[in-house]
Amino acid sequence: MVFDHLAELARSARRITVLTGAGVSTESGVPDFRSPGSPWLVHKPIGYAEFLSGAEVRAEAWRRKFAMDDIYRDARPNRAHAALARLDGLGRLVAVVTQNIDGLHAAAGLAPSRLVELHGNGTYAHCLTCGQHFELATVRRHLEATGCALDCACGGFIKSATVAFGQTLPTATLQRAVAAAKGCDLFVAVGSSLVVRPAATLPQIAQAHGAVLVILNREATPLDPAADHLFRCDAGDGLLALLDGVAATAG
Ligand code: APR
């Protein structure tokens, strides 16, 4: 069986870090970013500098965000998210470092202490100046009533709590992600095209610190030649095999 080898790798691993990309959420109906026909290619995310450049651009950024939210409003965690939450329960997971903003790892029950949301979280908004949290429904009601983006009472701009292109990742988040890459003996990159940095630097940081690098993905990635083991597979199938391997030796 193609996954026997993956289960064997999991059996001998003691500290596993998993990097996830949009490919772990497609089974839940959340489209990925670069597969042909992705609605993200239509509702292109607006970069940070552009977002700051004017009120109309901010309104358009919110319109695109809510259009995407409506596409996957009913998304629920799938087998991949559930497998990682169960892996957490077996005591061998260092962290899940996710590029996803859909909140599905948390919804699957993964402990916050084991989850690093590298690109933030699209389930709430905050003021870029004072940090105040805002419910998305509040922002959406204002946008639909006025056609304008809601600004904070402090005068700051309100943005989804995601990291936009050109926006600096919070230092603490990046430090947690790098620590998880350095602190594992098995690094699994799953459901990602591995083209966006700094996420795409983590696999080789892990290898440089002695980890075995496994890539599970439906399509080729630029890091495939560097991988110690490559599985061209579905994210859910691969992560269930990983979980089975760890569960076989847990305890
Ligand atoms: N099983 C395995 N692989 C899958 C599956 C699946 N069910 N569905 C999709 N894939 C693969 C695709 O073939 C693709 O190679 O997952 C990968 C997803 O790649 P992207 O769409 O580029 O998503 P991701 O790597 O997460 O993008 C990184 O780019 O646009 C930014 O901020 C955004 O976080 C995102 C970042």
Domains of the chain, start order: 1-30+77-119+168-251 (3.40.50.1220), 33-71+123-162 (3.30.1600)
Ligand 1 center from residue 32 Cα (angstroms)? 5
Give the tens place of pLDDT for each residue, 6-29.
Answer: 988 999 999 999 999 999 999 999
Counting from 1 in the atom list of ligand 1, the atom nearest the Cα of 165 is 32
Q: What's the pTM? A: 0.95
The response to whether residue 238 sits with its C-beta less than 6 Å from ligand 1 reads no
pLDDT along the chain (251 residues), means of 10: 84 96 97 90 90 97 94 94 96 97 96 97 95 98 98 98 95 98 98 97 98 97 97 96 90 60
The response to whether residue 209 sits with its C-beta less than 6 Å from ligand 1 reads no
The response to whether residue 32 sits with its C-beta less than 6 Å from ligand 1 reads yes
Q: Known catalytic residue: 43? A: no
Please list the residues that pair with 188 across neighbouring strands.
18, 214
Report how far residue 164's alpha carbon sits from residue 166's, in angstroms, rounded to the nearest whole number.
6
The response to whether residue 196 sits with its C-beta less than 6 Å from ligand 1 reads yes
For residue 64, which of 41, 44, 87, 91 has the smallest C-alpha distance?
44
Report the 10 Å Cβ neighbour count for 132. Answer: 13
| The pLDDT value given to residue 44 | 85
Counting from 1 in the atom list of ligand 1, the atom nearest the Cα of 21 is 26
Give the tens place of pLDDT for each residue, 152-175.
Answer: 999 999 999 999 999 999 999 999
| The pLDDT value given to residue 251 | 60
The residue with tokens 């998993």 is: 18
Q: Which of 43, 105, 119, 126 is catalytic?
A: 119
For residue 11, which of 211, 246, 250 has the smallest C-alpha distance?
246
Report the 10 Å Cβ neighbour count for 100. Answer: 25
Supply φ then ψ for residue 190, to 5 degrees: -135, 130
Six-digit token string for 4: 């026997």
| The pLDDT value given to residue 1 | 62
Counting from 1 in the atom list of ligand 1, the atom nearest the Cα of 191 is 16
Burial track 52-90 (b if 16+ CB lie within 10 A, e otherwise): eeeeebbbbbbbbbbebbeebeebebbbbbbbbbbbbee
The response to whether residue 9 sits with its C-beta less than 6 Å from ligand 1 reads no
